[in-house]
Amino acid sequence: IHRCFKGGEWMKDPRVKMFDWDQEWNISFAGCGFRSIYHLGALSCILERVPRLVHGASKICGASSGCLVAAALTVGIPMGEFIVFARKHTLGVFHPTFSLLRAVQDILLEKLPADAHLRASGKLCVSLTRLSDRQNVLVSEFDSREELIQALLCSCFFPVYCGFIPPSYHGVHYMDGALSNNLPLFEQRNTITVAPFSGESDICPREGTFNFFEVHYGNVSIQVNTGNVHRICTSFLPPGPEVGGGGVSLRRWSLNMFFF
C-alpha cells in the first residue's frame, strides 16, 4: 500500500487517497548506484500518466546517483548515458581504465547547458556528506555551472569505489550524500519518496509477501528479503542489456499502486 502524501487522508479503499494539488510537494530520489535505472523507469511512467506531478514539484531532490536523476529532470539531460559509457569497457566499472566519477563528470560537462545552474537553483536539492564530521549538508543554490557540477560529483563520491581522494565543494571535502541522508527532505510531509528497494518508500518495488523486518539506511526503509539483497549487491554493477522489459513492468506496477 503506497502513500501519496504522508499527511493526506485515506479513502475507504486503502490503496486510494486524496491528492491535494493546492499544496506544494517535493520529489526525492534515493541513491542506489546503478539501480537508478529504476528511477528512470518510474519517471517515464509518471510523465506518461501524470506529468504535472513532476513539472509542478517545488523541489526535486536526490542523493548519490539519485541526485543525477534529479539534476537530469531539473535541467533536461539524459543521465542514462553514463551506464552506456560503462558498458564500453570489457569489465565495466572494475576495468582498470574506468573511472566512474570521471565518466559522470564528462557527461555533465558535455550535457549540462550553460544556464544549468540557473535552472537548478531553488529547484534541485543535493544531499552531501561532509568528510570532516560526517554531517549532512543540503545544497539548493548554485552560482555557476561549475559549482553545480562539483556538488553533484561530491554527492556521488563513494569512498574506495570511486577513489580515495574525495572532491571538494566551496573548499570543503564531501562524499556520498547517501551516507548521511539518502532521501533529502524525507522529513517533510509533502515529499514523495522514490527508491528501488522494497520498503515504505512512496514509490518502490513490492514483494509478493509482507515482511515485518526492515532496516533504515539514510532515511530509506529497506525490507529484509532476498529481493533487496540482490538489488543492493547489483547496485555496484552496471545493468546488462537484458534489463528492460520485465523491469519496466515492475515499475509500472509500482506506479499503479501509487496512483490507484
Residues annotated as catalytic are 64, 176
Q: Which of 75, 67, 20, 55 is nearest to 190 (CA)?
A: 20
Burial class (CB in 10 A: 0-12, 13-18, 19+), 163: middle
CA distance 45 to 119: 23
Number of Cβ within 10 Å of residue 225's Cβ equals: 18
CB-side neighbour CA atoms (13 Å) of 34: 22
Instruction: Report residue 132 as a C-alpha cell.
Output: 570532516
Side chain identity at 173, as an amino acid letter? Answer: H
Query: Residue 159 in contact with residue 150, Cβ under 8 Å?
Result: no
DSSP string across 59-92: EEEEETHHHHHHHHHHHT--TTHHHHHHHTSTTG
Place of cell 571538494: 168
